[in-house]
Amino acid sequence: MSARYRILHDTHYRYDSPVSLAQQLVHLWPRPCAWQRCISRTLDVAPVPTRQREEYDIFGNLLIRLALERQHESLRVGSQVDVDVLPRAVPDLAGSPPWEQVRAALAYSGQPLPAEHLDACRYRFESPYVRLKQRLVQFAEACFPAGQPVLLGVQALMETIFREFTFDAGATQVATPLLEVLERRRGVCQDFAHLMLACLRSRGLAARYVSGYLLTQPPPGQPRLIGADASHAWVSVFCPGQGWVDFDPTNNLRPALEHITVAWGRDFSDVSPLRGVILGGGSHDPQVQVTVLPLEP
């Protein structure tokens, strides 16, 4: 079985004052990986960029660099992507090694690490939106008793976040500190992913932030609305012998055919759909519309 989707992602900036120069980084192309393949992709930018170049970032994600060197009062970046999502291997949660053993395998011991372990180590430490605090160790304490298989512990943490936190789109902003999210017990998928990352990394485990899309279902009897969806975020955890295993704390499930992977990194700052530097512009907030349409495979 597989699923095919068309993803429409439109970002529109209207500036209070003209922008004379802009450099933008765009993460909108689905990442090539074992469980998905991109069928087609188009990007529409207005005004037309002075320069546009595709490359891979340091984490292996497809990245588009845009340079706009003419004065403009608005910016629109629209993408259309068709992608096939394939079944993933089912992880053996109970058969995963104890979490203490995984932590030890990723720790520096003076001996060379296997290449896979060395790559995972970049996701063990603090990052701009993921600060490691003792309170986060305490929050996840019950999920990781001695000898607990690492993936069972991660699943327990995912279930705890889902049970104890409320989805509230107005409760946080991108820079809201994790300790505030922990105190208020409210946030969005980005907050829940950052919180889960911090809990895991605080225990010496390797976990990365995954950005993408999630197929949402309209209420019964109502049509699917264009622009009603949004970008989504979840977590992937490294397990020796099984590789990277994904968990979605917002929905309390392991991603499958309804999750489309775009990029992964240390946190949101590495994989924001659109970010950059502008000269001028004044105050401005983006209008973003996302639509995920299921297609016939």
Does residue 92 fall inside a structural domain?
Answer: no
pLDDT digits (tens, 9 = 90+) for 264-294: 999 999 999 999 999 998 888 889 999 999 9
- Whether the bond into 128 is cis, omega within 30 of 0: no
Same domain, 160 and 238: yes
Segment 56-61 shows an average pLDDT of: 96
Same domain, 46 and 106: no
pLDDT digits (tens, 9 = 90+) for 161-179: 999 999 998 888 888 999 9
The answer on pLDDT for 10 being more than 90 is yes
Using DSSP's 3-state secondary structure scheme, residue 3 falls into: strand
- The enclosing domain of 163 has a CATH number of 3.10.620.30
108 exposed, middle or buried (CB, 10 Å; 0-12, 13-18, 19+)?
exposed
Same domain, 103 and 203: yes
User: Pairing between strand 3-26 and 274-280?
Assistant: antiparallel
pLDDT of residue 268: 96
Phi, psi of 222 (to 5 degrees): -110, 145
pLDDT digits (tens, 9 = 90+) for 178-224: 999 999 999 999 999 999 999 999 999 999 999 999 988 777 777 66
Does residue 229 fall inside a structural domain?
Answer: yes
149, 98 contact by CB (below 8 A): yes
Domain count for the chain, please give it: 2
CB contact set of 188 (below 8 Å; sequence gap of 6+) = 167, 168, 169, 171, 172, 250
Does residue 93 fall inside a structural domain?
Answer: no
Give the residue carrying structure tokens 């949004």. 230
The whole domain housing 200 covers 99-268
